[in-house]
Structure 1
Amino acid sequence: MDVVETTVPGAFVFTPRQIRDERGAFFEAFRDDQVEAATGRPFRPEQINYSVSRRNTLRGIHGVAVPPGQAKYVTCVRGALRDIVVDLRVGSPTFGAHHVTSLDAGSARCVYVPDGVGHGFLSLTDDACICYVVSTRHVPGTQIDINPLDPDLALPWEFDEPPLMSEKDATAPGVHAALAAGSLANWHDVR
């Protein structure tokens, strides 16, 4: 597996080596030992989630309060997505920085999102399906939502028309409001 750290410290892109022949392809999409070797932290899945989206659907920016925190290992299992991670860790030297990764079923590329880092995506195809392997079970009331169109973040979604968004995401606070509310993780607590 090829592993590259992104511009957001602790967030990685994993690209499996595929074995291809006339039947198709085989690859290891996830190995806990490789994730732990890259991140320096154990990653033990406690829940797996999927979302299916039509083209031009924007989901995120989402995270989980610390505690309990939640690391994610995400991949696109059908279609294509523009995936963005955003450093939301207060005190991080790259607070507010983002990294864009193209995820599609053919590449099998995966993104590791550490605790305290926000995540979102724009679906580029109809019926796009993303899989989230997460380190903690869902705990109601711990989700952190940041408006993905926050001008202070200026994320490069590159959509051609206004995206389809949930009301929750469209009305979520910007990063500075979340910072002022004290809802973001501290860099030193999640390193």
Structure 2
Amino acid sequence: MQVEETPLKDCFLVKPNIFKDHRGIFLETYHRKRFAELTGIDTEFVQDNQSVSSYGVLRGMHYQKGEFAQTKIVRVIYGKVLDVVVDLRPDSPTFKQTYSAILDDQNLHQLYVPKGFGHGFLTLSAKSVFGYKCDNYYTPGSEGGIIFNDPDLNIDWDFPFKEMVLSDKDRDLPTFKEVFG
């Protein structure tokens, strides 16, 4: 496993070791002890989630608030997505900054997303299967979000807006200023 720091504090791109032969591939998707040795962060994950999306589906920008905030490690099991995070921790030196990475079933990269970050992704393939480990249980009353095209965040989705498929909930999320003033 290789772990690379992203420009955002405490956020890491994780590149697992992939073993290929005539039968296919094998990889270890997570190793708690090794990850802690490489990052100094020891996270205990308690819930795994999976979503399936079609081309153009944008999910985000989501987060959990307060005591129910979640650290996540996300990956694409099948397909290809543009994965985007934003640091929403007001005391962080990278507050309000964003980072994006292509995650797909070829590079098998993963993104470690710490508590206090907003997260979203856009499916770039015909279908994507997206998995994420969480260190806290999902709690509906603690959900938060910021609209994906917020001008203050200036996220470059590099995708035609008219082809994006959003839920009503994601389309109606508040702006950064409405949440953070």
Asked if TM exceeds 0.5, the reply is yes
1:36 is paired with a residue whose SS is helix
1:144 deviates by: 1.1
Secondary structure in 1 aligned to 2:37?
A: helix
Q: What's the counterpart of residue 44 of structure 1?
A: 44
Quote the offset at 1:2 in angstroms.
1.1
Residue 79 of structure 1 is matched in structure 2 by 79
> TM-score, normalising length from structure 2?
0.95
Q: What one-letter code is carried by the residue in structure 2 that aligns with 1:105?
A: D
Specify the SS of the correspondent of 2:178: helix
On the 8 A contact 1:146/1:174 being kept in 2, the answer is yes
Matched residue type, 2:167? S
1:35 positional shift: 2.6
1:13 corresponding residue in structure 2: 13
1:54 Cα offset (Å): 0.6
1:38 Cα deviation from its structure 2 partner: 3.8
- The 2-side partners of 1:176 and 1:38 are apart by 36
CA displacement at 1:6 relative to structure 2: 0.7
TM-score by length of 1: 0.90
Distance change in 2, residues 1:4/1:109 (3 Å):
same
Which residue pairs with 1:128 in the alignment?
128
| RMSD (CA atoms) | 1.1
Separation in structure 2 between the aligned mates of residue 43 and residue 71 of structure 1, nearest angstrom: 8
Partner of residue 142, structure 2: 142
Aligned-pair distance for 1:161?
A: 4.1
Residues matched between the structures, number: 180
Task: Return the letter of the residue paired with 2:34.
Answer: Q
Q: Which residue of 2 aligns with 1:186?
A: none
Q: Distance in 2 between matches of 1:39 and 1:70?
A: 18
**Could you say what secondary structure the match of 1:177 adopts?**
helix
Shift of 1:91: 2.2
1:167 is aligned to 168
More strand as a share of residues: 2
Maintained 8 Å contact 1:66/1:115:
no
Distance in 2, matches of 1:29 and 1:97, equals 27
User: Identity of counterpart residues, as a percentage?
Assistant: 34
Partner of 2:178: 177
1:61 aligns with 2:65: no
Structure 2 portions without partners, runs of 5+: none
